[in-house]
Chains A and B, each alone.
Chain A
């Protein structure tokens, strides 16, 4: 699904990623953990096509296609979805109309006609139910005045509507209470299939109790310093990140 090779990236001339290798196959869930400032969000932004970051070396391939050649919208058309850590408030655009515009833009890119309104409404109803989203919520302006939990649920709702092949959840657990966390995790789990893949980016192990990863990677100072299975997450939870810093400082 996604292959990242020796990825280096910088923002405003400052190196953030210093050689990332990652291989995510269909059907897999990968967790990327690491302390603040290690480059986690940069990595997710880069995969989604944020132009604030510059790739200086290495490459990213999605289903064999070089992502460097694709704009953010083209990456979305290829099946990449980023659940934002801080979803942007857009007053004046309702959730429903936003999702309608997004779905039809993706269909257009695939050479399809607009989704018939009845089909769209049915799908919206079904996915809203999955995430316990009230219909009143759907007519509100996108993310405007949403609580942290509502924003994150709305992100996963969009993911459910767009049915991406690669989802990146950037700190989806931040700002969520335990009930909202369960709803979001349940949604993500229900959407999982053997044809799609998920990258979960998180600082804490908590989310991984509900979205169980196949692989866990630890990012520190722009490099993946350790990879393992879900037990690695527990180890991090128990020991904190200091021993990772220790590992990194010894060049291991």
Chain B
């Protein structure tokens, strides 16, 4: 049986213990219909021209893994920001782990999507926010929606600053031969509130796992959301991510994506503006080797006047790795005084590495400042010689230049312990023992 058929036929079993009379069921059912009609995206579609899921979907993935409680804190501690006190919403093979988590309802909600979707007290919020911005016609998003049940639910009420960062971590244990996960997160940062969130997907053993994740984010008036995606998974793990953000006036939403490991990663990151004076920040560092593949597809839809967006993605590609950047900026006629900037700079370390980068600006307003720039190059030989002439060995000199290349993205990471962690991961990725703290 094809995997698509399995997804369709397993849906009955999935909904067996769910309430079929509520609106969420209807949402799931119509999403399943979209997936049934469209199927998995193919390379014929413009948006998937450079990223093929064909090989991934040949496997027979388990959809309902057995829950696993054998994982100890010590097995997974290294994936936490252990030197910082955080709220944690932790899942193992898609199942919530109360033992590893640290949730709260004290002044803010850091808890579970399954609870939010099923308990009456969340009904109003779910009706307001659930599946309101996730694009209905996108087949991978629709697939996620049709199986939406578990994930993180975060609600920061008005005028609350979440005093601890929130970690959302999805582990896969490796107990299943092959595993397909579909986490669904909902994050609402209400007026005048602030939150910092770190999301990661991590396999504990090498085994085929595909995570088709969707996160909907609402950032209300004067609110600030600082979001970090750490993508440093094992070479057997793939991630298809859809993150959709709505911003109201005077809000700032910032997403940093660090793609350092994994087999195939597709990041669909879309911003929608619902008020003036919005600031949207999208930054990323991608460092790949072997045959890894990362595709960043961004969209910033400027539909209000006086808003700003800043995109800065750096990519470093070694061996046979492949990078894709497709950055779309839409500026509606009404969105005068828009400032929209986009940068995508890439370095190819080896002949076999490839990058496809495509800025896509569609501007219908006439009083705007928009710019984009993409570059693909190599490490500067002259700079390399300069460093080596000071006694810095070639490998370290290359690492230093690579690091420096990505530095302006790292600089804007607000959490010191996270910055230190990413620095360490980058040094490891570059195969050097340099205490980067430039």
Q: Footprint of B on A, CB under 8 Å?
A: 48-52, 71-73, 75-77, 80-82, 84, 87-88, 90-94, 97-98, 101-102, 105-106, 109, 158, 162
Contacts and interface: CB of A to CB of B under 8 A. Distances in A.
Contacts of B381: 52
B429 interface: no
B437 to A, nearest CB: 7
Contacts of A102: 387, 390-392
A76 B400 CA distance: 18
Interface in B8-56: none
B403 interface: yes
B388 A90 contact: no
Given A101-B396, A101-B400, A105-B396, A92 B390 contact: no
A102 B434 CA distance: 12
A92 B438 contact: yes
A82 B438 contact: no
B392 A73 contact: yes
Nearest to A158: B390
Contact of B391 (A77, A84, A94): A77
Contacts of A92: 403-408, 438
B392 A97 contact: no
Interface of B: 380-383, 385-394, 396-397, 400-401, 403-408, 434, 437-438
Contacts of A84: 386, 389
Contacts of A50: 385, 389
B265 to A, nearest CB: 25
B389 A90 contact: no
Nearest to A99: B390
A106 B391 contact: yes
B409 to A, nearest CB: 10
B383 A97 contact: no
B388 A49 contact: yes
Contacts of B388: 49, 71-73, 76
22 contacts: A48-B385, A49-B389, A51-B385, A72-B385, A73-B388, A73-B389, A73-B391, A73-B394, A76-B388, A76-B389, A76-B391, A81-B389, A88-B383, A90-B383, A90-B404, A92-B404, A92-B405, A93-B403, A93-B407, A97-B438, A105-B392, A162-B390
Contacts of B386: 84, 87-88, 90
A140 B261 CA distance: 32
B404 A162 contact: no
Interface centre among B382, B387, B390, B403 (most CB of A within 10 A): B390
Contacts of B397: 73
Nearest to A48: B389
Given A90-B386, A94-B438, A101 B404 contact: no
A93 B397 CA distance: 11
Given A92-B403, A92-B408, A94-B438, A101 B392 contact: yes
Contacts of B407: 91-93
Nearest to A75: B389
Closest 4 CB pairs of A and B: A92-B404, A92-B407, A76-B391, A72-B388
Contacts of B437: 97
Interface centre among B381, B385, B391, B408 (most CB of A within 10 A): B391
A101 to B, nearest CB: 6
A221 to B, nearest CB: 25
B405 A101 contact: no
Contacts of A93: 400, 403-404, 407, 438
A76 to B, nearest CB: 4
A106 B406 CA distance: 25
B402 to A, nearest CB: 10
Contacts of A87: 386
A101 B383 contact: no
Given A52-B381, A73-B393, A76-B388, 20 more contacts: A49-B389, A50-B385, A50-B389, A72-B385, A72-B388, A73-B388, A76-B390, A81-B389, A82-B389, A84-B386, A90-B383, A92-B406, A92-B438, A93-B403, A93-B438, A94-B438, A102-B387, A105-B396, A158-B390, A162-B390
Contacts of B389: 48-50, 72-73, 75-76, 80-82, 84
Contacts of A77: 391
A166 to B, nearest CB: 12
Contacts of A71: 388, 394
B375 to A, nearest CB: 14
Interface centre among B383, B388, B437 (most CB of A within 10 A): B388
A28 to B, nearest CB: 22
Contacts of B404: 90-93
Nearest to A94: B438
Nearest to A76: B391
A80 B390 CA distance: 9
A49 B394 CA distance: 12
A73 B396 CA distance: 11
Nearest to B383: A88
A73 B1 CA distance: 59
A214 to B, nearest CB: 25
A105 B391 contact: yes
B393 A90 contact: no
Nearest to A141: B404
A7 B162 CA distance: 69
Contacts of B396: 101, 105
Contacts of A72: 385, 388-389
Contacts of B393: 73, 105
B220 to A, nearest CB: 35
Nearest to B391: A76
Contacts of A88: 380, 382-383, 386
A239 to B, nearest CB: 35
Interface centre among A82, A92, A109 (most CB of B within 10 A): A92
A117 to B, nearest CB: 11
Contacts of A90: 383, 386-387, 401, 404
A101 B399 CA distance: 12
